[in-house]
Homo-oligomer: A and B are copies of this chain.
Amino acid sequence: MAVAAIIGGGVIGGGWAARFLLNGWDVRISDPDPEAERKIGEVLDNARRSLPGLSDVALPAEGRLSFHEGIAEAVSGADWIQESVPERLENKHKVFQIIQAHCDPKAIIGSSTSGFKPSQLQEGAQNAGQIVVAHPFNPVYLLPLIELVTTGANDGDMIVRAKGIITGLGMHPLHVKKEIDAHIADRFLEAVWREALWLVRDGIATTQEIDDAIRYGFGIRWAQMGLFETYRVAGGEAGMKHFIEQFGPCLKWPWTKLMDVPELTDDLVTKIADQSDAQSGAHSIRALERIRDNNLVGMMRALKAQDWGAGALMNAHDNAMMVADGVVRRADQVTDASAPIETVARAVPLDWTDYNGHMNEARYLQAFGDATDRFMEIVGCDADYIATGGSFFTAETHIRHIDEVLAGARISIVTRVLMGKGKKMHLWHEMYEGERMLATGEHILIHVDLATRRPSTPSDEIAANLARFADAQGDQPRPEGAGRYVGAPR
């Protein structure tokens, strides 16, 4: 079992702890704050309700979480050590000294610093090559970006290893090869923050108006394409060169405020805090965190459905987990054709639930649809086959809702073949949380020619695989509830 040591709790350290823990790592935490356990517990609560369901496959079983008095005990034998202590360089140097006196020389030491360059962190270190910047973004348990900043002291193998570990946590290592103050993303945040302070100070806009200017406009654009790709599209067929030439002259406009730094007087601080209270004070911070996480999960899952941006990253990660877990995806991996096949194993995501946290009616069918898709893949009706012009369409569905299930619950679906012959496939799905049956789904599917949209016979391979399962399972007694009409007495 891989081991991560988290040096410095708080919101960032806690987010790292959640990422490692929920991806199956053992996590050891060292933080002198007597409140550390409570604070990290709160971050973990948020992470557990939002991250597992973000995936369309089950995450590994959680690792073991432990709290440690000293850094020495936490880092000894750890594979990854993440430092998230306050942003004072002398302080960080002292922490690295203790870490390096007790850790495995092969361990990677990542720093969450947003401001320091890795060369500054490495100064005077016993083993400079072990230290990198691994800068995450809050909430760390949901946002995939890690700025991985390295120097010449870090050797190539170590960097490859670091990238692999970050990717394995479902995150994206953005390798910044040429170090710079504040790395990349925070330079943008800083530029916008500065400008926002001026606008508030000069009474041009309130905090609420600035947030609306962002989230009703370019914020939604940037969430999926960033800056350059957005402008490429805006430039249209004339291309990027044309766009820059058009937009370029604006740089010469007299927006002097961009060049200067507003003074953070008490008045300005109070003005911002008061406006922020008026804007968001109706919600507690805890409530805002959950609203934010609900929004992020919904939007990231929307990107996942489009296989784009952060959603494409997540799909790649799901696939990697399926490979690692040996999830059954082809008929020849099924040894006992007479047993029901597990076709879904996942957590219920936040965006599948109502305001009370219960899974919505339509999501039962979505999960059964996913089970059908997996079963189709197993019998050979996979993406490659569908590209050749054939597929199965659902003709009829009967769902019995037997019990409720909450967001975050791990559900599984097992699938039986009631009939599979010619153009027709008759499937029976059962959905469970543990041993508790939640619902059944009975479906008739028809194989169609995608060009004509008319019924057609599937390939010989699919027919043979279907026949194998249907023959092995068809003699078994019909499941209770199959062949039932809506409203039939139970």
Contacts and interface: CB of A to CB of B under 8 A. Distances in A.
A240 to B, nearest CB: 4
A351 B305 contact: yes
Interface string A209-244: 111111111111111111111101111110111001
Contacts of A333: none
A294 B273 contact: no
A373 to B, nearest CB: 10
Contact of A210 (B115, B184, B191, B253): B184
A455 B7 CA distance: 52
Given A181-B253, A264-B248, A303 B298 contact: yes
A45 interface: no
A450 to B, nearest CB: 8
B269 A245 contact: yes
A222 B360 CA distance: 28
Interface stretch (A75-83, A143-151, A408-416): A143-151
Given A189-B218, A215-B224, A220-B299, A444 B255 contact: no
Given A181-B254, A203-B178, A144 B216 contact: yes
A288 B190 contact: no
Given A215-B224, A289-B233, A360-B369, A188 B195 contact: yes
A360 to B, nearest CB: 7
Contact of A232 (B195, B220, B276, B395): B276
A453 interface: yes
Contacts of A204: 176, 178, 180, 184
A251 interface: yes
B221 A292 contact: yes
Contacts of A444: 486-487
Given A195-B188, A224-B295, A291-B306, A213 B396 contact: no
A93 interface: no
A263 to B, nearest CB: 9
A258 interface: yes
Nearest to A188: B192
A222 B227 contact: no
Nearest to A247: B193
A380 to B, nearest CB: 19
Number of copies: 2
A426 B248 CA distance: 64
A247 to B, nearest CB: 7
Contacts of A303: 295, 298-299
Of A220, A233, A356, the most chain B CB neighbours within 10 A belong to A220
A151 to B, nearest CB: 14
Nearest to A241: B273
Given A228-B279, A299-B299, A486 B443 contact: yes
Of A213, A254, A264, A306, the most chain B CB neighbours within 10 A belong to A213
Contacts of A453: 404
A308 to B, nearest CB: 6
A239 B398 CA distance: 51
Interface of A: 11, 115, 137-138, 143-145, 147, 172, 174, 176, 178, 180-182, 184-185, 187-196, 199, 202-205, 207-230, 232-237, 239-241, 244-245, 247-248, 250-255, 257-262, 264, 269-270, 272-273, 275-277, 279-280, 285, 288-289, 291-292, 294-296, 298-303, 305-306, 308-310, 313, 351, 356, 360-366, 369, 372, 393-401, 404, 419, 426, 442-444, 450, 453, 483-488
20 contacts: A144-B217, A145-B213, A172-B212, A176-B205, A181-B255, A182-B255, A185-B214, A213-B226, A214-B227, A222-B223, A228-B275, A232-B285, A240-B277, A251-B261, A362-B365, A365-B397, A396-B487, A397-B401, A398-B485, A426-B486
